[in-house]
Structure 1
């Protein structure tokens, strides 16, 4: 029987769950594990090279796709050698980065790539469009989430799934992002991980599985 790949596992999870736990403190790892049936994955934004594999292995044991935000991990070099070590030894489902060259290299190594963008003005939309032509990540993350109408503007020039997060304080704000076309919400607030989130574009995600 063909084993499920991390790519398939994550995108199938997105078809059922709209929330991704962004973990900024080790103490929240246990909370994420306890809520694993409500999450499509976790974004790891804490730790260093000495503990990283242990953290990743814990999530993999519980069948939770884990993504490493490479700019937030201490001691991890993001050159070709560091990414090769990441892909072959630590083995997360994928990575998150704001850097175009890092995303391009990680994708070649078989990792699911999420490119993070910050929208601070309308020029940010042009930057996203130009960057996507160069990198072609698997998913994009747009921040902050408190400008949900911008999700629709990004969707006008890309068919990639869009994750959004940042400055979310309650479930109604997260739901607004989903209504505007976000594939999922990323949040560092455990109280939001427990919410029930709906999604109207499940058919569109199937082509990525």
Structure 2
């Protein structure tokens, strides 16, 4: 999937299921989400999970630090790219994003906004490694989206601490291209741009 195709698929529903528990895999398939962020599984089952979502037309990003039994080094990334074959990866580590880019995987840099130093460092890091998107955490601070958009042209996804439909809609009003949530009750909520 090229970058433009990824953005178009994100825009179909503008919701991403962030799956933290195996028991929520089926629930994500039952809802209108553009794709999934997998934060569960292990090296023995992750290919099955990836193939399941890809076969249903959903993009799949693996949060590498959350996949059990996977060593996140050059060989581990080679294994993910050549055997597991997800759409891409999510990481807080710019070195992983940089290596994944070289392997042809789509990438999302996760940035935690804890203070102004974290904001500055996160934007500088993203402008250097050039991920396909930035996931700003927590997602309940939509005014920060506008600030980050003035500092970089990389598309923004928000996630974290989102617990209501309104909290899902607000970041979209401020320029986010999608919202990720680990709350299965919100995966079925219709939001702006949802088709």
Q: Tell me if both proteins adopt one fold, taking TM over 0.5 as the criterion.
A: yes
Separation in structure 2 between the aligned mates of residue 178 and residue 88 of structure 1, nearest angstrom: 34
In structure 2, the residue matched to 1:69 is 63
> Contact 2:10/2:178 (CA < 8 Å) preserved in 1?
yes
> Match for 1:119 among 113, 120, 123?
113
1:78 Cα shift?
1.4
Separation in structure 2 between the aligned mates of residue 174 and residue 92 of structure 1, nearest angstrom: 25
Point out the more displaced range, 183-192 or 9-18.
9-18
SS of the equivalent of 1:110 reads coil
> Contact 2:60/2:87 (CA < 8 Å) preserved in 1?
yes
In structure 1, the residue matched to 2:127 is 133
1:181 Cα shift?
1.0
> Contact 1:6/1:93 (CA < 8 Å) preserved in 2?
no
Separation in structure 2 between the aligned mates of residue 8 and residue 154 of structure 1, nearest angstrom: 21
Matched, 1:55 2:49: yes
SS of the equivalent of 2:72 reads coil
> Match for 1:80 among 74, 98, 110?
74
SS of the equivalent of 1:15 reads helix
> Match for 2:27 among 28, 31, 40?
31
1:40 Cα shift?
1.1
Separation in structure 2 between the aligned mates of residue 128 and residue 156 of structure 1, nearest angstrom: 14
Q: How many residues align?
A: 193
Separation in structure 2 between the aligned mates of residue 27 and residue 9 of structure 1, nearest angstrom: 29
Q: Tell me, which stretches of 5 or more residues in structure 1 are unaligned?
A: 200-209
In structure 2, the residue matched to 1:101 is 95
Separation in structure 1 between the aligned mates of residue 49 and residue 145 of structure 2, nearest angstrom: 32
Q: Tell me, which stretches of 5 or more residues in structure 2 are unaligned?
A: none
1:146 Cα shift?
1.4
> Contact 2:130/2:154 (CA < 8 Å) preserved in 1?
no
Separation in structure 1 between the aligned mates of residue 60 and residue 99 of structure 2, nearest angstrom: 18
Separation in structure 2 between the aligned mates of residue 6 and residue 159 of structure 1, nearest angstrom: 17
> Contact 1:6/1:65 (CA < 8 Å) preserved in 2?
no
**What do you get for the CA RMSD once the two structures are aligned?**
1.2
